[in-house]
Amino acid sequence: MTTKKISVYLGNNPSGEKVFWTPKNENNPHLITVGGSGSGKTETLKAIMLELKNQKINSLIFDFHKDFKVFADNLVQIDKATLHPLEVQINEKPLDVAYKVSKMIANVFSLGEVQEAIIRDAIKEFYHKSGIKDLKQENDGSLKLLPFREFKEILRYSDIKGSGIQTLIAKISVLFDVDFFMNADSTSVSLESIIKQLSVIELSGFPTDEVKALVADLLLNKLINYLYTVKGKSDEYWLYVVIDEAHRMMYAGSPVELLLRESRKYGVGIILASQRPTDFSETILANAGTILAFKASLDKDAVFLSKQLRVPKENFQKLKDSGLGYCLFSSKDDSEKVQITQAKNRPGYKEIAEKFDEDDASELFKKEQERIKKEKEKIDSLVKGSKQSVERIKELENGMNQLQGEVERKNYLVAKSEKEMDALHKENVKLSHENDKLSEKLKREEKSTERAHEKLDQAEAEILFLQNKVKHIKVVVEEEKKSFLTRTAANNIMGKIDFGLKVKSNSSFCKNCFNEVSEKEKYCDFCGEKAK
């Protein structure tokens, strides 16, 4: 960053006095120059570039026609790099980028609102397919996009029916023919390294003015994000952005318009050039710190300039010489006529032109591309290793999940077993209580049985006693019976002998006891034996 006050020699006024442009003295550091073909507009930009180079002021020059490469400390052959148009920078939101880029494309290719909306929706779909779920979430550096070539396929298979989508693709088809975009799976342009010196971005390598303008818009958007998120505010002017053919990039909400409003507080000045003053709105011209106006061929252009610079319109129409025009500084009330001193007539130009070598000037950019390429390869290698690690982690996670499932299954079985054990324990307690009751009952039954056995033994003893007594009685009875029978038989015999005549003829005697038994009686009524 320089602390030196910038003072740019423009040329001389009609009195021969030198005219200087000192940005610090004006309302803002921006300069706008307008003039038709051959008016000296481009030569004026060259003169200013030489002065900024001599004062070692960093500049970023967008060169549409290879007009400024001789001033380059760093010649950026941008078409040899890659830039992802849908890149989401750090702290940007994908949804915001979708709106900004769709507006850029719509402006560059003169699309209608419906076509712009189709592109915007396709960009959103592109982000979703890249794995971005929340388009309102700022990028923390972790977002990884699909290659830009996938965008064409998303657009081609849009839900829009009929010929509308084919017409849209046909209008912007050049975007899909440019390697700068189609080979981009990421951006290989390091804007931070480019703005550290006077860098000329060559846009002539692209096929159409539309592509050139879109590339410039995208790079300016990167610059804006860099100022907001990295560089921060500055009281000193350290960088100038120079855009020839600026009319291609002037539209509501464009990066150029945003820089004109915001860049001053970040120490950045803007220099714009266009053929017609009406390419800039009255608001932009009114707020420009300095305006340089050259010959106006069209009457309406002369009228417009007359109003802005407070100079009769005829004055602009009468300008003939290249580089002759009027300059209005915001620090002064009136415009001043000035003849711009061309770069080739200034000190130091010849030496710069003779020493300029395109290969040398582009060497820095080439080295930067090599560095970025190696960094990308390193990152890709790390990403590959990371992917392998992620896959390994997934395998381990799957294994862990299986183990976890097995553990959960076993835990379930353990819990189930514990419940069953608890139920068994309760059942055992219940059975134990019942067993205790049964034991007590059994003891009571045993005691009862024991008492019964005692009673039975006692009864058996009594029975045995009675049996013995009965036996004894039987013996006595038998003895008595025998004795009785003996006596009876004897008596009967004696009676029969004594009273034989008295015995009836139809009677007989018991064989056992000799008792008289009638013929009709089968058993002895005395001893019970058969009578005969």
Q: Compute the distance between CA of residue 328 and CA of residue 230 in angstroms, rounded to an integer.
A: 34
Query: Residue 326 — very low, low, confident or very high, per pLDDT cuts 50/70/90?
Result: very high
In sequence order, the 6+-apart residues with CB closer than 8 A to the CB of 41 are 33, 34, 35, 273, 275, 294
In sequence order, the 6+-apart residues with CB closer than 8 A to the CB of 326 are 292, 293, 305, 309, 311, 315, 316, 335, 336, 337, 338
**CB neighbours (10 Å) of residue 368?**
18
In sequence order, the 6+-apart residues with CB closer than 8 A to the CB of 499 are none
Percent of the chain with pLDDT over 90: 44
Average pLDDT estimate for 408-433: 83
Average pLDDT estimate for 42-71: 94
In sequence order, the 6+-apart residues with CB closer than 8 A to the CB of 323 are 11, 39, 40, 43, 44, 294, 339, 340, 341, 342
- Residue pLDDT, tens place only, 136-191: 999 998 899 999 999 999 998 877 655 688 889 999 999 999 999 998 887 878 88
Name the average pLDDT for the chain: 85
Residue 503 in this model has a pLDDT that exceeds 70: no
One-letter-per-residue 3-state SS of 246-310: HHHHCCCCCHHHHHHHHHHHHCEEEEEEECCHHHCCHHHHHHCCEEEECCCCCHHHHHHHHHHHC
Average pLDDT estimate for 395-420: 79
Q: What is the model's pLDDT at position 3? A: 46
3-class secondary-structure state, position 404:
helix
Query: Residue 448 — very low, low, confident or very high, per pLDDT cuts 50/70/90?
Result: confident
Amino acid letter, 272: L
Q: Compute the distance between CA of residue 108 and CA of residue 121 in angstroms, rounded to an integer.
A: 18
Query: Residue 462 — very low, low, confident or very high, per pLDDT cuts 50/70/90?
Result: confident
- The residue ranking higher by pLDDT, 530 or 325, is 325
Q: What is the model's pLDDT at position 2? A: 43
* Residue 308: alpha-carbon gap to chain centroid: 53
Q: Can you tell me which residue has the tokens 């309302």? A: 27
Residue 497 in this model has a pLDDT that exceeds 60: no
Q: What is the model's pLDDT at position 488? A: 67
Q: Can you tell me which residue has the tokens 């009929």? A: 162
In sequence order, the 6+-apart residues with CB closer than 8 A to the CB of 445 are none
Query: Residue 404 — very low, low, confident or very high, per pLDDT cuts 50/70/90?
Result: confident
- Residue pLDDT, tens place only, 285-307: 877 899 999 998 888 988 988 88
Q: Shortest CA distance to 307 belongs to which of 337, 274, 285, 338?
A: 285
Domain 28-74+189-356 has CATH 3.40.50.300: yes
Residue 206 in this model has a pLDDT that exceeds 60: yes
Highest mean pLDDT, choosing among 168-172, 380-384, 456-460: 168-172
Strand partners, 507: 518
Residue 501 in this model has a pLDDT that exceeds 60: no
Average pLDDT estimate for 99-120: 95
In sequence order, the 6+-apart residues with CB closer than 8 A to the CB of 242 are 45, 48, 49, 59, 60, 61, 62, 68, 271
Taken in order 101, 264, 223, 366, is the CA torsion positive or negative?
Answer: positive
- The residue ranking higher by pLDDT, 176 or 510, is 176
Among 90-99, 308-317, 361-370, where is mean pLDDT lowest? 361-370
Q: Are 314 and 305 in contact (CB under 8 A)?
A: no
Q: Compute the distance between CA of residue 241 and CA of residue 59 in angstroms, rounded to an integer.
A: 6
Q: What is the model's pLDDT at position 325? A: 92
Q: Compute the distance between CA of residue 87 and CA of residue 184 in angstroms, rounded to an integer.
A: 10
The helix (run of H) or strand (run of E) holding residue 400 is helix 358-498
In sequence order, the 6+-apart residues with CB closer than 8 A to the CB of 62 are 201, 203, 216, 219, 241, 242, 243, 244
Please state whether beta strands 239-243 and 336-340 pair in parallel, antiparallel, or not at all (unpaired). unpaired
